[in-house]
Amino acid sequence: MKPDFEPREPTALPQGWRRLKLILEWDGTNFAGWQVQAKGERTVQGVLEKALEPLGVSARPMAAGRTDTGVHALGMVAHVDVGHQIPADVMRRALNARLPEDVRVLSCVDASELFHSRFSCAWRSYSYRILNARTQSALERHRALWVPQRLEVAPMRHAARHLEGEHDFAAFASQEERQTVRTVFSCEVRSIPVRRSPDEQLIEIQVIGESFLRHMVRGIVGTLLEVGLGKLESGQVAQVLASKDRAQAGKNVASHGLYFLEAGFEPWARE
Q: 175 and 89, same structural domain?
A: no
Nearest-10 Cα torsion for 169, 172, 177, 179: -10
| 55 has pLDDT over 60 | yes
**Section 184-194 average pLDDT:** 95
Q: 131 and 251, same structural domain?
A: yes
Q: What is the DSSP letter of 248?
A: G
Show which of 111, 145, 164 is a domain's final residue.
111
| 5 has pLDDT over 60 | no
Show which of 80, 111, 142 is a domain's final residue.
111
Q: 61 and 194, same structural domain?
A: no
Whether residue 27 lies in the annotated active site: no
pTM greater than 0.75: yes
What CATH number should be reported for the domain holding residue 101? 3.30.70.580
- Per DSSP bridges, beta strands 181-193 and 165-168 are antiparallel
Q: Which of 27, 68, 102, 245 is catalytic?
A: 68
Count the Cβ atoms, other than its own, within 10 Å of residue 235: 12
- Number of domains composing the chain: 2
Q: 217 and 152, same structural domain?
A: yes
Residue 1 in domain:
no
Domain, as residue range, for 158 = 123-264
The better pLDDT of the pair 156, 193 is held by 156
Show which of 111, 143, 171 is a domain's final residue.
111
